Structure 1
Amino acid sequence: MRNAFGRAPRKNTRTLWVLFLLPVACLLSTISPASAQLSTASLNGVVRDPSGAVIAKANVVLRNTQTTIERTTVSNDTGEYVFLNVAPGPYTLAIEAAGFASKHVAEFVLGVNQTATIDVTLTPGGKTEVVTVEASAEQLQASTADLGTVIATKQVNDLPLNGRNFTQLLQLTPGVAPVNVAQSGGSGGSGGFGAPIALGASFQFPAINGMTNRSNFYLTDGLNNYGSIESTYAVPPIIDAIQEFKVVSHTDSAEFGSVLGGVVNVVTKSGTNDDHGSAWEYVRNDAFDARPAFLPANKKAPAFRQNQFGASFGGPVWLPRLYRGNNKTFFFVAYQGFRYTRDNSSHLLVPTAAQLSGNLSDFPTQIYNPFTTRPDPNNPGQYIRDPFPGNQITSNLIDSGMVAWAKALFPAAGPYDPSTNSNALDTTPTHQFQNEYTIRIDENFNPKNSVWFRYSAINSTLTHSGGLPTLGFRGEIPARNWGGSYLHIFSPSLMLQAQYARTASQDNQATRLLANPGNLLGTIGFSSSFVGGFAAVNGGSLVPSPGISGYASGGELIRNDPRATDSHQISATLTKTKSAHTLSFGGGFTSNRFASPLAYDQVGFAGGQTGNPENPLEPGSPLASFLLGVPDNANRRNVNEQTRLGGVMSWFFQDSWKAASRLTINAGLRYDVTYIPPYGTSATIGQQGGIETGNINFSTGQYVIQVVPPPCSVRGHAPCIPDIPGQPAGTLPANVVVDPRGRIAHNTYTNFGPRFGFAYRVRGNTVVRGAAGVVYDNWAAVSQMAQNIEGSWPDIGQLIAQNLNAPTGPPATPAENPFGSSSGLFPAPTPFNQVQWFYDPYIKNPYSMQWNFGVQHELNSSTTIETDYVASRSRRLNVGGFYNTALTPGPGDPKSRALFPYISPTFYDRSIGRGSYDAMQLELKKRYTGGLAYQVSYTYSKSIDEGSSGWFGVEGNSLTDPYNIRGSRGPSGFDLTHTLAVNAIYDLPLGKGRHFSIPNPALNYALGNWQINGIFSARSGLPFTVFYGARDLANTGNVSWDQYERANLVGDPHSGSCPNGSPVGSQSCFFNTSAFAVPAIYTFGNSGRDFMRSAPYWNLDASLFKQFAIAESRRFEFRAEAFNLFNTVIFRQPGNDISNLANFGKVTGAANGARELQFGAKLIF
């Protein structure tokens, strides 16, 4: 039947599909994920005759050798063929054209996010003639200019991995700095906010190409698998379920973005036409391990047991007598269990019985009585105090509540060990119990329609000490990541891919006192308004943590995060090949919400309250301040954190143009919008930590309320607006306003990121590549900013006090009630005396202008070498720390010298930082052939910024002067000058099927089929700052513990010896402490930020396998793995606080662990 136009209706099917699905794709991209980032590969090439002329209309067939699934296309008028959205794996290629002999390209491998190029020359002949040629599986990247290395199945499965965590292999990619200076990274086991990190694993949370650790993104099969607060994965992939992965960075493709660092894209295994799988168990035990370097001689290494076991299986779906899925339907499943038990051996410094009685005679400098503080009659504007004779605090001044607090929490002190600065040992055992599983289904309906679905989940439970042996911690994390992808091929030149993913995790934690001796809170004398108020949600009041600077600490805490990570991702990409152009258009939206009821309180003690106000060389004793009940700071949280729907929307357009036979040009544009989740929900109205909160705008000096609550006289409790005498109820204080839109954070709509790149094949085995582009960090703003203002005025859910009891008069704030009336039922009269984690309400997304240029050369069919110059210039980086401090140092009340004298200094985040990164990167890589594979990655780099290595100054990179951030320019906290990673896999050439066969069965059984593997890594030491942390020496209103006050540099810290006689570089004298001096009062120190370096690091992990053949396709492996094979000791960062004389310049621990052995058994079929 024909229609009115005389054509068969079926012929219009393609056009109708395009007309229908193109707007659908556009719609999906407006409600879809942060990137439309895929986990597939692509293949292109040009078909020519021997003269070099192109051959059009050649039939090209790409065949997966494991599933026999084929894709077919035809070369266009320029002789070019293209295969897009190809699943990574092994393939063959067949090319036919009239009048030419057919050509067959032998098996080669396509990797994740790889764009491979295979040009083919056909010779004249008949169809019956077939010419077979070899293709390198390590094809030169002749079509793209992105940076990254595919870590293949062989490396993932066989390289030594402590705890079987794939992140240890991220360091194999050039530009990856395997160090963590970030606020969070999940390395604590419970992870925090839903990152279930196995404690026995050597987890890495790296900085990539000069960007902060928190600016990376994690994908599994191209789908979001991202822990939104932790900035790492939500569900860890099982090693035996990983096919390969790649770290994508500095790419010329607009498809990738939303982070400044790298996108870690893991591809999981799928089933094939043959059944295949594995079963394994790995065992670790303290009997196998070397003795820890800093364990006291009279202590035994803690008992330790770790078991990791599981199985995987995949193949065609088969239903007896009903269905067999060969060539069509495949499945893959995997399970892994993890059991961990270790007797703790944490070194603690705790108060002794003599010290608790007031005897501090062992303290190295004079301690002063804060209750005698008075103006110095001889020095106007300064103050004096009376010393405690012999550093003995009289009993009538000791706060008995503080002593009761200490006795309830701290263990009894033993002999002091100067090598570890400790006098107690916490031996509370740690237990971790994890079960993880994943399942994947792939369905190929027909050559034009395919779909896959994967579900991954983990349940993790952790118990250990709560920081002190008198406290117990329990954490539970259930995490889920699932989703799928649909591919429709309209024609060989037009296709649509749509994806959906769901990521959800909880993080439920509790730290409680194991034995509460009666009415402890009453005995201590804490105000009920300070420690109470938790009962409704958390089942009772909580014992605060005593934060005595330099001493062990711990307190009770409750956190139940029903939405530690809660995101939906939906995306679509439409790709069209036309002539020499491959055009891609797509986008998506990834939602983000967060919920975390949280309760704890803490009182901090520093030395400034008992030091000499006129002599910084007598900084005082934090323990003396504690005994006197004179705090320096306090923190109280009783909040029900909730955010509404937010997320990241992204669009991109990309054109890959084959401009000439040797030249490919890539150009694209990406547009990202971060929708910062509005804080609070309507369900939290009237609750502490709810929607009725506020934020400071230091551009105007105003306090902005998100949703205004009723007057206190009406509601009767916070959050509420305090009554102002003589004013109508509900009148706002001066300089307090209400946001008319009911939101505090304002989105940025100008994040356009252009991309450009080229790849030019100079000759057959050499490619010159270059790329440039602009990328934005969208996820840091989403995950961090929204939840920082919980409980702010007019609420009392989050109260923070700093610089309590400053040395300008007798102490006025007791430890038992550090917030006074503010922690009762009502908020303070105004919001301007609170300390919170505020941020600029018009904060912008950080962005980075990135470029790279390099040469890649193929040495032979299996080996390539590449060198690249990699650089970036970053702007609008997040800079935190205290703000509205005094404009200049000096005597007197610092508030009188502040930008806004009516506002107390507080934390404040601004997008004003700058950063630069320059690197030379080198990679030599041989794919696995002939029983050998190796890879050498080396990076020589410099990363510089201005205290912008983290958020709110919590990562040790604070500004000295917030009004002169350029004065804090220095090496980034993650800067590593040299980074080297070498890995190798080598089959010893003895045994059946190897180079030297052993005909004797017994000898072959003993001597044959051995394999050795290893990872060697070396890198420069991490930078650190030398600071004065006893008190606010410059008297600007800043917090001393924030490392803002740097020491004076008066000599060479890298030569000579310390006053104790030890040479520089030793454990007790890592640097020359005489080279530093305490700055004069009311001044800033002159030493630079991060100009010192900790010890360089090097390590060798190695493994030995013995393989036993069971059948042709089955074998058993015994594995022995050694981590830190040579048991080297790398010093951790030395004490860098010049006011802490006991530790200054000394090393009290190791940056690495002692040698550990892991044994494994594995069945492979």
Structure 2
Amino acid sequence: MTFKEMIEKKNSVSPYAPAERTLVKAFPAILVAMFFLFGLQGTLSAQLSTATMFGIVADASGALIPNATVVLTQTATNFVRTTVSKSDGSYRAEFLPVGPYKVQVKAAGFKELVQTGITLNATQEAGINFALEAGGESVVVTVTSEVPLVNTGNSVLGRTIDNREVDNLPLVNRDAYQLLSLTAGVQSVSNENSIGVPMEHVIINGSSDNMVGQVTYYLDGGLNMTGLRNTGNVIPNPDAIDQFAVETNNFGAQYGRTGAGVVSVLTKSGSNQVHGSVFEFHQETNFNSDAWLQTARTPQHINRFGATLGGPVMKDKIFFFGSYGGLRQVSPQTFNTVVPDALQRVGNFSENLPTTTPAAGLAGCATTLNAADKARTNYGGAFFVCDPVTHLPVAGNRLDLDPNYVPDPVAAAVLSKNVPLPSANRPTPDNRFLGVEGLPNSTNEFLIKSDLQFIPHHRMTLDYFQSNGSQINLPSGSNLPGWALSNYTYRQQNANVSDVWTLSARSVNQIWASYTRMIAGRISNPPESLAAFGSDINVQGTQSLPDISVANFFHLANAISGPVAGDNVYGLRDVYSTTRGKHTINVGGEGYLEYDHLETLLNNYGTFSFANSTVPKTAATQVGFVKTGAAIADFLIGHPNTMGQDSPDDANERYWNYGVFLQDDWRVTPTLTLNLGVRYDVQTAPIDNQSRIAVFQPGSQSTVSPLAIPGQLFPGDPGVPAGGVGTNYNHMSPRVGFTYDAFHTGRTVFHGGAGLFFDSISGNEWMLSQNFQPFAVRETGAFSHVVSLQNIYSTDCQDFAGCVSPFPYIYSKTNPKYVSPASLVFLQKGMRWPYNTQVNFGVQQQFSKDLAVTINYVGAFSRKIPLYIDHNAPIFNTANPASNVTGNVNCRRPFDAVPVATATTCANPAVGSKYYSNAYVIEDGQTTNYNGLQVSVVKRLSNHVSVNGFYIWSKGLASASLQTTGNIGNSGTTEPEDYYNLGLERQRTDNDVRHQAVVSAVWKPDYFGSFNGITRALLNGWSISAITTLRSGKPFNITSGTDDNVDGDNNDRPNLLAGKFAHTLSNGSRAAERKQWFDTSAYCRSGSAGCPAGGGVSGLDGMVSPNSLDGPGYKDVDAAIFRDFNIYERVKFQFRGEATNVFNFVNLNAPGGTLSSTSAFGVITGAGNMRVLQVGGRLLF
């Protein structure tokens, strides 16, 4: 499917497409109407892409000067803003375009002051005081001075990363998001692409993720995030970025939607001088270091290239800026896989015949192999092959000579077309295929921006950004080429229009209109199913090949795909700012309409698992058992151990985000400022056009769908609104802060603040129930009686009613279908939105014009965080403890359990019956707490060196695992151990790094000005920069790997033996550390002999806390060296070399933490990336 077809499909299948198209057509008119509606009175966010300058005008003695004229000129574009000092000598100018400034201050009886060297950054509140000298007004005093390093305007924590840092610091992957890690409080920056949408995840001050991110992202003032999981979108290449701001604590009432932080990226603009760049950066395998403990390097070939151009269209009036960036990458995937040789393909397994003598009769194929046979690996290992009908060992393992051997034609076709023979250059004696497949990745991005200031009192900005990408991925687990590939394709579009209207010297209004579109897809290639090989498989929706795994041999893998994933966001935001006396008042609001769309095919292609199995030993258990006991032989006859198949899901949601706010920055005295704000937010509960949302209310029967399983209610049922959950209208967020200039010098500033910040929910969170029954059938591994790949359904009447395919499955309210026992997902009735309380208190000290230190206490406390909770978890039978086994969990559930067959087994549910297994309810009851000491140091460039760094000592706690990217708490070891004993889940957060230090530095060693010309030419002009990161280890889990409390999940944790305690070992050498990182002898399985009693009703819950031990620490130095070579006048060529982990530090991964994996328990088997080198060049003008 081409990208054009994908977009057309999206528009054709979306029920909201007509409304969306109408809204798109009407959008310009809406913008005009809203502009006039809000032009004179505010409606939201302050300066996402602009800055503020404020201060006091006084004379040499400190006496305040009222009515002084302050003229601010942005020297790159000659933008001019004029304001007048008030009776207390104070002045303030809001919504100033970022960049270099010249300020002229005039007052009767004083010399005119002209100050240059001022550079304003996005979201910055720059406090600059002016001291005028008495004298004639015709005398001009010129000084050069930069913006002070302390903040006297507000108590917001964060920092702005300006263009000099973006240009100078090492950035090997050319992803400017990575520079977020230079901000104190940013704990994790990562990117993933699990649903086709590029998603940026940022964890700030202990915030959660779990499919519901808590950080808001902006690009040039417009929203730049995808509401599917509240993650950041793609941003332009670094050459197009002017700066970006990160606010991490107690940001003003201007900001809403999320509660942990704000990331605002600002692109470059045109100016009166033509400027631009042409660049290319290259990474190659031979540039890099070998992977840890390996002699081979990870294959790599990456080219990043592009150009920027900016300048005037009409001097001082109209400016333009444009950018293009491209990526071309090939990631080779190597294969080393056991494949059947020519003999095995026809059923001759004599090469695999064990030397062990088989037992007599039906027990023959269950014979335990001797040590030598167990150790064999060549030709796929040693195993017995049994007759699928008599269940007796086949003579000589020659299945091809057995009269009951009937090859499956579909399996034969798959072998012939897609499973190669062993390679000629393979190790012998072994039947391995050795190969390589290149996986391409390419992106193209475009940015066009225009600034217009030809209308008096108005400055408008229009910009459009588009990024297209295509990445070919090999499905996880696939170990042969030429089967299924996933093409992750996306298109992102951002359009922003803003206008700053200077109403008077004291009043300014800014309005933004934005449109953000992210449409992506996971497209499986080739677009064919197992039917292409002669099977009668019925694939509902887009066709793709199945997932076929054959134990000890090959895995032809596929992955969940979906033609469409993404959203469209229409936004309008306005803020009106006015200064009245000692008060600067901002009043405003915002509104966003969002459409989320996720078409997921799930496992519609079918999954077939062929596993080695121990053949039953008694005649009674042979009934219906038609397998050979050997996975590869079962594949030849088309008898999988299990088959699964799903129906696809097409989810659509729409919802609104509204917010209004009032912010008053009250300059009580020249040294004390109070920041007083209040915000009111509403996010409507997402609404699905087909009402495919479920809530859980045990004992109730739906009236909307009377045949639904009991306890499952839908919109329209009593107490269930259209969104499943009622919209909350009580999100009032007060915020307060202060700054105090303790000694009236502007050098020692105390600040503090506190506020309430509401988070939003995500579209994918609301869509989860649509992936489950009765909206979609998900039966991975549920069918265990399939005996043919050619005629899947007609030969299996036990799994498929009427011996026919259950697909296509179409949801119907009047006739919902279930495959029991059904695992279902619900929303909590009465669910609340999460919120975050933030506090900070600290002091800033500027020691010189270039050096300042900040010390802060930072607290962040999140509540009402969502998490999967199984309300139908199995109950432990305390009256008969021996009856609790993993096999009967579905008949020990409290609601609509499967009937009991015996004390330890459940009955087989009849086809069409309605019984529960799990009833996962997305609940709002989780919490996180973060407390930290954050110390920051900044030294501006002087004496050839600039430094910017921080140290953090902190602790983060959570009530459960809440920082796992891409899920909402039900994934492997992150799932609670016991849903009836959730207190056991209290833990350190996944990113609780107790000590962390990050320092960036730039060194310009121009010490050779007095030397001869050759020396100056060779040694001057170089720049060396580095980012040093040091941190203590992240916590990791210890699990038993077994179902000790017999609730059906193997995510239990162990207990500590008497007299033992959990601790890591100080073994000295790295070799000793990686062999045993912690005391593995301290742990035991709950319920095992000699192990102390566990917790919970069963007494079998492991009592070791999650994240109880620290993994290895981390140290890294990324470095860059570059130099500009003059070519002609303003044209330069910059040579640049950059490296990650330049000193090749070995950063060990976390050790194995699963008790049942005895050989890996406590052992470290991997390490982080070693040195990666990038070389490049930039033509600058």
The TM-score, its normalising length taken from structure 1, stands at 0.80
Counterpart position of 2:1180: 1164
Q: Per the alignment, in what secondary structure is the counterpart of residue 727 of structure 2?
A: coil
Cα gap change, 1:845 to 1:173, in 2 (>3 Å):
same
Q: Per the alignment, in what secondary structure is the counterpart of residue 503 of structure 2?
A: strand
2:657 to 639, 648, 655: 648
Counterpart position of 1:533: 539
Are positions 1:1079 and 2:1091 aligned together? no
Counterpart position of 1:596: 598
1:439-478 pair list within 5 angstroms: 439-467=448-476, 468=478, 469-470=480-481, 471-478=484-491
Cα gap change, 1:664 to 1:423, in 2 (>3 Å):
farther
1:749 to 708, 726, 729: 729
Kindly indicate whether the alpha-carbon contact (under 8 Å) linking 1:61 and 1:70 is maintained by their aligned counterparts in 2. Answer: yes
Q: Deviations for 1:235-260, whole angstroms, at most 9, x for unmatched residues?
A: 32221111111111212411123223
Counterpart position of 1:900: 895
Cα gap change, 1:1142 to 1:440, in 2 (>3 Å):
same
Counterparts of 1:815 and 1:669, CA distance in 2: 67
Q: Deviations for 1:571-629, whole angstroms, at most 9, x for unmatched residues?
A: 111112110111111111222222233224265979999899xxxxxxxxxx9899989
State the one-letter code of the partner of 1:1110.
Answer: I
Counterparts of 1:1046 and 1:803, CA distance in 2: 33
Q: Per the alignment, in what secondary structure is the counterpart of residue 137 of structure 1?
A: coil
Are positions 1:988 and 2:990 aligned together? no
Cα gap change, 1:643 to 1:275, in 2 (>3 Å):
same
State the one-letter code of the partner of 1:1017.
Answer: T
Counterpart position of 2:1094: none
Shift of 1:362: 14
Counterparts of 2:576 and 2:227, CA distance in 1: 28
2:101 to 54, 79, 91: 91
Q: Per the alignment, in what secondary structure is the counterpart of residue 428 of structure 1?
A: strand
Q: Per the alignment, in what secondary structure is the counterpart of residue 658 of structure 1?
A: strand
Q: Per the alignment, in what secondary structure is the counterpart of residue 974 of structure 2?
A: coil
Question: Structure 1 stretch 861-870 or stretch 396-405: which is displaced more?
Answer: 396-405
Question: Structure 1 stretch 865-874 or stretch 93-102: which is displaced more?
Answer: 93-102
State the one-letter code of the partner of 1:248.
Answer: E
Q: Per the alignment, in what secondary structure is the counterpart of residue 281 of structure 1?
A: strand
Question: Structure 1 stretch 949-958 or stretch 121-130: which is displaced more?
Answer: 949-958
Cα gap change, 1:1009 to 1:499, in 2 (>3 Å):
same
Counterpart position of 2:753: 771
Counterpart position of 1:675: 684
Counterparts of 2:353 and 2:754, CA distance in 1: 60
Kindly indicate whether the alpha-carbon contact (under 8 Å) linking 2:259 and 2:759 is maintained by their aligned counterparts in 1. Answer: yes
Shift of 1:853: 0.7
2:304 to 305, 308, 314: 308
Q: Per the alignment, in what secondary structure is the counterpart of residue 177 of structure 2?
A: helix
Are positions 1:427 and 2:447 aligned together? no
1:103-182 pair list within 5 angstroms: 103-178=113-188
Kindly indicate whether the alpha-carbon contact (under 8 Å) linking 2:385 and 2:630 is maintained by their aligned counterparts in 1. Answer: no
Are positions 1:848 and 2:856 aligned together? no
Counterparts of 1:1070 and 1:918, CA distance in 2: 28
Counterpart position of 2:258: 259
Cα gap change, 1:1010 to 1:1062, in 2 (>3 Å):
closer
Shift of 1:848: 1.3
Shift of 1:114: 1.0
Counterparts of 1:1110 and 1:339, CA distance in 2: 29
Q: Per the alignment, in what secondary structure is the counterpart of residue 821 of structure 2?
A: coil
Counterparts of 2:444 and 2:64, CA distance in 1: 56
State the one-letter code of the partner of 2:504.
Answer: S
Shift of 1:36: 6.2
Gap regions ≥5 residues in structure 2: 1-32, 375-382, 392-404, 617-628, 786-792, 810-814, 898-915, 1089-1097
Counterpart position of 1:719: none
Q: Per the alignment, in what secondary structure is the counterpart of residue 844 of structure 1?
A: coil
Counterparts of 2:782 and 2:590, CA distance in 1: 43
State the one-letter code of the partner of 2:1019.
Answer: L
State the one-letter code of the partner of 1:835.
Answer: S
Cα gap change, 1:586 to 1:1080, in 2 (>3 Å):
same
State the one-letter code of the partner of 1:172.
Answer: L
Q: Deviations for 1:709-742, whole angstroms, at most 9, x for unmatched residues?
A: xxxxxxxxxxxxxxxxxxxxx7555445443244
Kindly indicate whether the alpha-carbon contact (under 8 Å) linking 1:672 and 1:752 is maintained by their aligned counterparts in 2. Answer: yes
Shift of 1:819: 6.6
Kindly indicate whether the alpha-carbon contact (under 8 Å) linking 2:196 and 2:489 is maintained by their aligned counterparts in 1. Answer: no
Counterpart position of 2:495: 482
Shift of 1:439: 0.9
Counterparts of 1:41 and 1:532, CA distance in 2: 60
Are positions 1:874 and 2:862 aligned together? yes
Cα gap change, 1:762 to 1:1056, in 2 (>3 Å):
closer
Counterpart position of 2:974: 957
Counterpart position of 1:721: none
Are positions 1:760 and 2:740 aligned together? yes
Shift of 1:854: 0.9
State the one-letter code of the partner of 2:822.
Answer: Q
Shift of 1:952: 2.9
Q: Deviations for 1:1064-1113, whole angstroms, at most 9, x for unmatched residues?
A: 85334333433322322761112110112222111111111122122443
Q: Per the alignment, in what secondary structure is the counterpart of residue 90 of structure 1?
A: strand
Aligned residues: 1027
Shift of 1:1023: 1.6
Are positions 1:1101 and 2:1118 aligned together? yes
Are positions 1:338 and 2:327 aligned together? yes
1:798-817 pair list within 5 angstroms: 798-799=778-779
Q: Per the alignment, in what secondary structure is the counterpart of residue 1005 of structure 1?
A: helix
2:1073 to 1043, 1066, 1070: 1066
Are positions 1:101 and 2:111 aligned together? yes
1:621-700 pair list within 5 angstroms: 636-679=645-688, 681=689, 691=690, 693-698=692-697, 700=698
State the one-letter code of the partner of 1:1095.
Answer: P
Kindly indicate whether the alpha-carbon contact (under 8 Å) linking 2:662 and 2:677 is maintained by their aligned counterparts in 1. Answer: yes
Kindly indicate whether the alpha-carbon contact (under 8 Å) linking 1:676 and 1:746 is maintained by their aligned counterparts in 2. Answer: yes
State the one-letter code of the partner of 1:1099.
Answer: D
Counterpart position of 1:236: 235
Counterpart position of 1:714: none
Counterparts of 1:79 and 1:265, CA distance in 2: 32
1:340-419 pair list within 5 angstroms: 340-345=329-334, 395-396=386-387
Question: Structure 1 stretch 600-609 or stretch 168-177: which is displaced more?
Answer: 600-609
Q: Deviations for 1:608-667, whole angstroms, at most 9, x for unmatched residues?
A: 99899xxxxxxxxxx989998999998644334232421321111111100111011001
Cα gap change, 1:329 to 1:263, in 2 (>3 Å):
same
Q: Per the alignment, in what secondary structure is the counterpart of residue 1004 of structure 1?
A: helix
Q: Deviations for 1:382-428, whole angstroms, at most 9, x for unmatched residues?
A: xxx9885668565246999899899688888999x9xxxx9987732
Q: Per the alignment, in what secondary structure is the counterpart of residue 165 of structure 2?
A: helix
2:925 to 894, 912, 926: 912
Counterpart position of 1:978: 995
Q: Deviations for 1:165-187, whole angstroms, at most 9, x for unmatched residues?
A: 1012111001111355xxxx42x
Cα gap change, 1:704 to 1:437, in 2 (>3 Å):
farther
Cα gap change, 1:824 to 1:412, in 2 (>3 Å):
same
State the one-letter code of the partner of 2:487.
Answer: R
Kindly indicate whether the alpha-carbon contact (under 8 Å) linking 2:1065 and 2:1073 is maintained by their aligned counterparts in 1. Answer: no
Question: Structure 1 stretch 825-834 or stretch 974-983: which is displaced more?
Answer: 825-834
State the one-letter code of the partner of 1:739.
Answer: P
Kindly indicate whether the alpha-carbon contact (under 8 Å) linking 2:472 and 2:485 is maintained by their aligned counterparts in 1. Answer: yes
Counterparts of 2:632 and 2:693, CA distance in 1: 33
Cα gap change, 1:692 to 1:205, in 2 (>3 Å):
closer
Q: Per the alignment, in what secondary structure is the counterpart of residue 653 of structure 1?
A: strand
Counterparts of 2:735 and 2:83, CA distance in 1: 28
Counterparts of 1:394 and 1:911, CA distance in 2: 53
Counterparts of 1:155 and 1:41, CA distance in 2: 19
Q: Deviations for 1:550-589, whole angstroms, at most 9, x for unmatched residues?
A: 997722554211x513211111111121101111111112
